[in-house]
Amino acid sequence: MKILVVEDDVQTANFIARGLSQSGHTVDVSTDGEDGLIQATRTAYDVMIIDRMLPKCSGLELVQAVRSGHINTPVLMLTALSSVDDRVEGLESGADDYLAKPFAFTELLARVRALHRRAAAPGEELANDIHIGDLHFDLYRRRVTRAGRRIDLTPQEFKLLEYLVRRRGETITRAMLLENLWGYDFDPRTNIVEAHISRLRAKLDVPGGRPLLRTLRGFGYVIDDAD
């Protein structure tokens, strides 16, 4: 992936750039809004990471300028502000996702990947019939089978599984699940995500069989049939 990082704090920008490069991505860094806009229009990027507060031109203005130039590259906006209102404002300006500082790098990486996949294969999320290994997910009939065996899921479990299988192979973080499945913009103390995941896993996996839904410790969850 070719990624543009527009962040005025040089250390933060370097950490992000280093981490993304180590994950095999090409990264350009820009430290102010104006330069960011020039780079964004000159080069075709797969994803742009833009800080909300930038010198010369704010992140919101930068995203608006980029969008008015018909550049539809997915944008992840970073911000030190975290109130609900700011989030809404950021998304309304044309950003595709919003991440509050401070964040775990894995969270950033997971979101960048998710944005890229959504932009690269927009139809995938609409598929109604998904096979992952011996798991068959049939949204149309709302039926899930594993190796031909029917699995009964509660509506909550079905919703969770649907979210995961549509993003197969991708790391899904706790925060992403909280946000998108339960509408939580705060982090509850109770491990509600873990409890849901372990119930779903108990139903999906057969004793002795290969686990389909894996926990990446400190990262999140991934559903895949690969090893």
Partner 1 sequence: MPINSVWKNRIWKTGTFRLAVIFSLIFGIGSGVFLVILNLTIVRLAESEIQDALRHQLAIMRADVKLEGAAALSNVLKEHSRTDSLGRYSYRVVTPAGVVFSNGLGVEAEDIDGAGRLKNRATTLLIMTERMPDGTFLAVGRDTMALAQLRTGLNRVALWGGIGLVVLSIGAGAVSGYLFLKRLDGVNDTIVRIMDSRLDMRIPAIGYGREFDELAGNLNLMLKRLEVAVTSLRQVSADLAHDLRTPLTRLRLRLETAEHSKPEVQQEEIRIAIEEIDEILRLFGALLRITRVESGEARLSGETVNLADVAREVIDAYLPSVEDDGHRLELIATGACEVSGDKRLLRQVMSNLIENALTHTPDGTQIIVSVAGGADGVELTVADDGPGIADDFKPHVMKRFYRLDASRSRVGYGLGLPLVAAVSEAHRATVSLHDNAPGLRVSIHFPLGMT
> CA 94 to CA 214: how far, in whole Å?
33
String marking each residue 69-108 x if it binds partner 1 according to CB under 8 A: -------------xxxx----------------x-x----
**Residue 190 touches partner 1, criterion: CB under 8 A:** yes
Nearest approach, Cβ of residue 157 and partner 1 (Å): 9
Coil, helix or strand at residue 183 = coil
**Residue 151 touches partner 1, criterion: CB under 8 A:** no
Binding segment for partner 1 (CB under 8 A), chosen from 6-14, 38-46, 71-79, 191-199, is: 191-199
Residue among 185, 210, 216, 225 that touches partner 1 (CB under 8 A) = 185
Beginning with the edge strand found earlier in the chain, give each strand of the sheet holding 2-6 in spatial order.
26-30, 2-6, 47-51, 75-79, 97-100
**Residue 11 touches partner 1, criterion: CB under 8 A:** no
Coil, helix or strand at residue 51 = strand
Judged by beta carbon, residue 187 or residue 227, the one nearer partner 1 is 187
**Residue 191 touches partner 1, criterion: CB under 8 A:** yes
Q: Give the burial string for 180-199 (b: 16+ CB within 10 Å, else e).
A: ebeeeeeeeeeeebeebbee
> CA 56 to CA 167: how far, in whole Å?
37
String marking each residue 43-72 x if it binds partner 1 according to CB under 8 A: ------------------------------
**Residue 203 touches partner 1, criterion: CB under 8 A:** no
Instruction: Return the DSSP state at 80.
Output: S
> CA 203 to CA 87: how far, in whole Å?
36
Binding segment for partner 1 (CB under 8 A), chosen from 32-40, 52-60, 115-123, 192-200, is: 192-200
Nearest approach, Cβ of residue 29 and partner 1 (Å): 25
Residue 218 CB contacts under 8 Å (≥ 6 apart), including other chains: 104, 106
**Can you give the binding site for partner 1, defined by CB under 8 A?**
82-85, 102, 104, 155-156, 182-192, 194-196, 198-199, 218
